[in-house]
Amino acid sequence: MPELPEVETVRRGLEPAMLGERFAHVEQNRPDLRFPLPERFAERLTGRRIEALSRRAKYLIADLDDGQALVMHLGMSGRFIVEAPGTKPTEPGAYYNEIGRHLIHDHVVFHLGSGARVTYNDVRRFGFMDLVPRAGLETSKHFAGMGIEPLGNELSGELLAKLFSGKIAPLKAALLDQRLIAGLGNIYVCEALFRAGLHPEAEAGTLATPTGKPREKAHLLAQIIRDVLEEAIAAGGSTLRDFAHADGSLGYFQHRFKVYDREGDSCVTPGCGHLVKRLVQSGRSTFYCESCQKRG
């Protein structure tokens, strides 16, 4: 499943092909993905120009010139393939998707005015697309009640303290709560807590003073969350699954994780000597170092 950095990588890969272009023709090969596609979907897109391509949490949003927004979600296995005239097809963010591409899973094809083709392929069909009035985007079912964007300038120590003040929920659970911060996934929360030296079972409220002011560790954690995400985007994303080359050696991206999926391995902190532990919180695996990550 692509996480936020993967979705952002896909966005950056699609932008050169789609921004400023018109949908010359849209092929819709089935009535539904995870949900039914909108009524007259292909017809409503045809002729429209893409004025912006943005991302909110794990959603891609194409602003169209008639006041609509095309909202797209990759689900578990959604992918876009970009084919421009005279160039080899590219698949932005392809590293997260190890399943081979079969044309039978090409569900929607955007033919753009430039002659480029952008194909949405999705084996498991947990992805979806919707058309929403741009003016009502924030209050639409997709975005209503959604927390702040972890990559944006909104995320700060002050805001973490405000969101978490008085909360006795474990820090890990609070960071994964999409109503507080949207699109921050399990891998990146594990990595950020390790780097910040904060125990995943610490109470979320300990980021704030009794009067709700940010403690130093709130500022630190906010900065680290942004760093972890930015680094993953710079590296072209990460992979959720173990990634192994044909010769059995591990893929590049996994080496970037300091604790995630490293249960029983030595902690990477020089001189620590402890082994990475795993615990299950809200049904999700948490990887951490008991010695480096403090509860207080």
Active-site positions read: 2-3, 58, 284
Tokens of 161: 């303290």
First CA to last CA across the chain, in angstroms? 33
- The least distance separating Zn ion from the CB of residue 251, rounded to whole angstroms, comes to 24
Nearer to Zn ion, 15 or 290 (CB): 290
DSSP-H helix ranges across the chain: 4-18, 41-45, 157-164, 171-176, 186-196, 216-234
Q: Which is nearer to Zn ion, 213 or 294 (CB)?
A: 294
Least distance to Zn ion from the beta carbon of 197, Å? 9
Which CB, 84 or 272, lies closer to Zn ion?
272
Residue 280, Cα to own-chain centre: how many angstroms?
A: 21
State in angstroms the smallest separation of the CB of 272 from Zn ion. 3
CB-nearer residue toward Zn ion: 165 or 286: 286
Residues that bind Zn ion (CB under 5 A): 267, 269, 272, 274, 289, 291-292
Spell 227-243 as b/e; 16+ CB within 10 A means b.
ebbeebbeebbbbbeeb
Which residues, in sequence order, are bridge partners of residue 78?
122
**In the complex, least distance from residue 148 CB atom to Zn ion, rounded to whole angstroms:** 30
Q: Looking at the chain, which runs of residues are DSSP E strands?
A: 23-28, 50-56, 59-64, 68-73, 78-83, 106-112, 117-122, 128-133, 277-281, 284-288
Residue of closest CB approach to Zn ion:
267
Separation between Cα atoms, residue 167 and residue 186, nearest integer Å: 20
